[in-house]
Structure 1
Amino acid sequence: MERTERQKMADASMSELIELEKASNTSLEGIELNNGGTMQRPQGTNPLLNVDASAKVVVSDNKLEANMCVFSPQFSGKDITVEAMRQALKDEHVVYGIDEELLIEIAENKLYDKIFTVASGYAAIDGENGRVNNLFDTDKKLVPRKLEDGSVDYRDLGLIVNVKMNDLICEITPETQGEEGMNVYGQVIAPRPGRPPLIPQGANTVLSADGTKLFAADSGNLVYKGGRFNIETTFQISSDVDVKTGNIDFLGDVVIKGSVQEGYTVTAGKSITVLGMVTGATLTAQGDITVKNGVFASTVQSQYGNINIAIGENDTITTRGNLTSTSLVGCRIKIEGDLDCTKNPGALVGGDCSVMGKFAVAQLGHKSYTPTVVSVGSTTNLLLEMDSLEKQCTAIDEYIEKINTSIEFLQGKKRKGEKLDAEKEAYISSAIRLKVQKGMDKKPLRARIEEIQRIINAKETLSVRVTKCVYPNVRINLNSFTTTTSAEYGKCNIVCGPNDIEFK
């Protein structure tokens, strides 16, 4: 290394050297300055002025550097030695990071009256604070959704943030402890550890095994409150569904304490309960739908659940489950379960009603001869649908079996004492979650298979049960038989006879 690269300071000022000289208890008496301000040997051979070269060591305030200045010998004084410089360092208790090559270079090249850094430690590296990368906004604002054509849907305000089970909510980076340092005294410098992150785990959320990811433990509305993510499996609205709320689209249960106003839609991954009325709106659910008051000029559709409405007028109603109401007027109805409209007044008037299960009504048709169509029985190939569903269930079972084999293989290694790396541990956690999800995917398929079997088993006992009366101009379809009433009937059961429909 070049001499100039070694130097901490190229030339010490005279004032610095004087201060160092005083500290080293040597005398400057008899030393003269030349015109350039540097030291020169005075003339003469006075033995009292013979001074050996000496080293002065000063340690920096942070104890990470030891600086040395070697004062030149005077007259016949001895030159500095490596041992003398080592002793000077030892006297100042400097034991770590000593640059032995530099000491040798100073001694060999007589690098006097300059300041060099002859020992260096290294600072501790403080740990980094943990942090959380949220994948969802924590400050929810109701803003109309912008459509692809540039227009704005003011009925979609983003009131609900839907997440599904196993959705990733946030990524967590743990804090680090930092790295130790060492000063020139050989003392360890402890780092300042980072602060752990505040993990926003709330209700219905779960941490990964390594604590670096937060997942949804259930499907629902993601809410950030009090510094935590919570998933609400039931979404409640205390008022009407209108311009203030916008449309509702939720993966869980929806409870509306008010009414659903015209033009708005409510979609639920589970059930819908409306304590008020539904007018000119659309209700869509995977599960049950209940409306405590009337439903008017609306669409009500459930994928697998039952529908219970107080009154229905001019509605479109479809479900694979059952329908219960006290009055159905002018409705288009298609259900695969049972229809019960026997509670007072229990009237089914007008419209077109198709039922695959049991049919029970108090009053069928109207005394004004309102055209009414009733169909009972299966008109679709349910066996083909059931076969397709069975194949889907089998495929899911085979997939789950493959997952179980992989999990068992890795867990078997762990039982034998083998340590798995982070990637394999993460795979086990992911595989278990996927297994649970596949099991949940299979449930609605199996439920549909059981429903089809129930419908097929009940086919031969199809009937229309009337507890009060049947009015004229009611068209009745029972499987392959059809009849239109031309007279009024009292309480009766309408069934398939050997050759035609019979009223018993």
Structure 2
Amino acid sequence: MSMEIVSNEFLILEEENGSVFATVTKKGFPLLMINQLLSGFPRVNLNKFMVLKEAIETASGEKVEVGLVKAEVECILSKDLMTAKIRLNCLQEDLAGNNDKYVSNILDLLHYHNVREGIKVQILHSGLEAGKEIIIATGTEPINGEDAAVIYFKRSDRKPKIMEDGKANYYEMNFIDEVKKGDWLGEKIPPKDGKPGKTVTGDFILPKPGKNKKLFYDHKTIGEYEEDGKTVLRALIDGVVEFQSGKIVVGDHLVIDGDVGIETGNVDFIGSITVKGTVMDGFTVTATKDISIMSELGISGINRLESKTGDIFIKGGIFGKGQSIVTAARNIYLKHANECTLEAGENIHIGFYSLGSVLRAKNIIADGTKGKLIGGVIEARSKVTAGIIGNKMERKTVIQVAGFNREKLKAELDEMLMEYKQKVMEVEKLKRKLEVYDSFIGQLNSSQNQQFEETRDYFDALMHSIFTFEEKRKSIMEMLETKGEGEVFIGQIAFPDTQLEIKHLRKKLNSATKGTFYAENNNLHYE
């Protein structure tokens, strides 16, 4: 049975079994007036617009279906069931006069759709509006678990400090991080599970559990212990903290409380060496890793200091007497250098002065305010920095910077980074594989144990390769920070008779000069 909704001299709109029908008997009805005609009937939805348009244009008198009658209250659930919305298809004045009825209808509809979580009761009391979609219920999002947190011992930064106390100048640096057996070296806080959420229909949503992380350490020198709900790393031996191929290690450390001399003989050690005294004339100290000479008086007339893979720190400086040689695979740090030869694979850092010495390194860095380079030969691959070069007596000082090809270096870096990224991706895959093996430790058969050992060995080799790449990347990036393709920076003054050579471009200073010289486009620039 049909029921009239609205009519005029042109048409009749009727409702029958939830559908809306139109009968147009007279031409001339403006189609744009249809919304005004239906302004008092918010439940009518004319969703067959083209059919209605044709009926109005032809006015054939035929009864055609043009829409539907919406429910008085609609409930819309999101696909993920985290949101429920309602829409009241009524007039605002009707809602105001029958609020309790609509609230009751809403609650019935929510119950029908099984919406029972996160219902916004305050909206039912005071936030209802006619003709608008209103969020009536929201689910609770799950709180994902926290990943395991890993912290390792932080090594001291090797940055020398120049200090004065009014009586003497000191050249200080935290060079070697000593630890004793049982000392803390790192820890892992285990992952947390997280908290489940709920949809508006009351279904639980499981959180993503936190991811576990592996502790990377040398099992021969570091032990793993469970303490207060954490996994703690502690030193198994006395030594120095090192990081090798991504693992924390306690390295062998020889401490000589006094001097290196007749009582000790020459010292050759696999590991790091700390000499708390000095090294006597004519003696040699060799180490595979770092060497530190802690005497405030420095060293004088030694034969040789050599670090095969690490750094050298000479707190009190060196008087070489024209015979002493110091070589380091990486960096040399010292208070002063007097008539000696210093060679470093990376940088030479001088606190106060170099006098009549031969210096060879990638960068030669004397303090930009007080550091002096006087006489001798200074050969760098990238940059020389000093506060003062030469002296008032116009002692001849030669500064040579071999320089580099910036574009070639950038290309080398790009190529290296591509290979580096591939290795990092491979490492991540191996990490996941090792985590699976770790979870079944004690349950592996002999074949699986062998596969585990092989995977771990390959992982270690790959990590060593990555850290070699990282060291090389840092070295190249440091060179690319140089101005032009070779640089000499003079912080205070370079005296006359100082000779500069950057990428075979020569300059003899005939007057006191301050500033920066650099090579670029086959020209020597000054600023």
TM-score between the two structures when normalised by the length of structure 2 = 0.44
Q: Quick check: which has more Rg, 1 or 2?
A: 1
